[in-house]
């Protein structure tokens, strides 16, 4: 039987006006020194960190601190955790970034104490101003409080604050602040209930 090819999709007529012009965006929004620092960090992360043993937490903390991260002695990351700019990362005591977490910190990301960011979560502290035709880069910070659990696959967007003791459900998309001790879920994330207060040991 002859193989039938799919028909080409219809062509759209050009709009009267473009709302964004990619040829007008900044090709290099950072100074040269920043690109050099990023290149060195990417080399370290893709080699010395990516291939480190599972429990080599101190080794990974050493290199993150060497590039400016503010970490306590009980801050934990995994070999597959990706941190874009360690000099814009702060983590409190007993906090963990799990496997394949993406810390896309074009702006500051501050994570409190006793907070867990689970596998494949994405914290995105960077975007573009879509109200301007040249889409300038903007870098709003993200703040995650103490005792927070960000579940697997969740996305936290630019400028968001997650209150203390909150839970961000798996695969949730968080684009607004999360109240303290709230459990949020869904896309867009909404408060589903309050986190129960645990019994004290």
Does the annotation count 114 as an active-site position? no
The average pLDDT across 130-148 equals 96
- The answer to whether 60 and 169 are in contact (CB under 8 A) is no
Q: What is the pLDDT of residue 74?
A: 97
Q: Are strands 142-144 and 109-111 parallel, antiparallel or unpaired?
A: parallel
Q: How confident is the model at residue 147 (pLDDT cuts 50, 70, 90)?
A: very high
pLDDT higher than 80, residue 4 = no
The average pLDDT across 17-22 equals 93
Q: How confident is the model at residue 200 (pLDDT cuts 50, 70, 90)?
A: confident
Length of the chain counted residue by residue: 201
Show me where the domains of the chain are located.
31-194
Of 57, 85, 128, 164, the active-site residue reads 128
Q: Say how far residue 37 (Cα) sits from the centre of its chain.
A: 20
What residues contact 41, with CB distance under 8 A and at least 6 apart?
67, 85, 86
Q: What is the pLDDT of residue 1?
A: 62
Q: Which two tokens stand for residue 85?
A: 């700019």
pLDDT tens digits, 54-71: 999 999 999 999 999 999
Can you name the residues that pair with 142 across neighbouring β-strands?
Answer: 109
Residue whose C-alpha is closest to residue 109's, from 154, 162, 60, 57: 162
User: E strands, the chain, where?
Assistant: 70-71, 76-77, 82-83, 89-91, 96-97, 102-104, 109-111, 116-117, 122-124, 127-128, 137-138, 142-144, 149-150, 155-156, 161-162, 167-168, 173-174, 182-185, 190-194
pLDDT higher than 70, residue 43 = yes
pTM of the full structure: 0.91
The average pLDDT across 151-170 equals 98
Between CA 152 and CA 16 the distance in angstroms is 43
Superfamily of chain region 31-194? Hexapeptide repeat proteins (2.160.10.10)
């Amino acid at each position: 039987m002859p193989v039938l090819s799919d028909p080409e999709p219809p062509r759209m007529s050009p709009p009267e006006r473009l709302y964004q012009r990619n040829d007008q965006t900044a090709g290099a929004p950072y100074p040269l020194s920043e690109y050099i620092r990023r290149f060195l960090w990417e080399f370290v992360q893709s080699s010395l960190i990516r291939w480190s043993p599972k429990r080599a937490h101190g080794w990974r903390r050493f290199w993150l601190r060497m590039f400016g991260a503010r970490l306590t002695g009980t801050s934990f990351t995994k070999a597959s955790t990706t941190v874009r700019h360690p000099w814009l990362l702060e983590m409190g005591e007993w906090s963990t970034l799990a496997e394949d977490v993406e810390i896309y910190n074009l702006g500051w990301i501050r994570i409190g104490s006793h907070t867990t960011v689970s596998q494949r979560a994405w914290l995105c502290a960077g975007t573009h101003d879509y109200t301007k035709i040249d889409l300038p880069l903007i870098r709003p910070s993200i703040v995650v409080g103490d005792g927070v659990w960000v579940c697997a696959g969740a996305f936290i967007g630019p400028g968001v604050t997650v209150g203390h003791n909150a839970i961000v459900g798996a695969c949730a998309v968080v684009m607004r602040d999360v109240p303290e001790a709230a459990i949020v879920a869904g896309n867009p994330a909404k408060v589903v209930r309050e986190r129960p207060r645990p019994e004290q040991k």
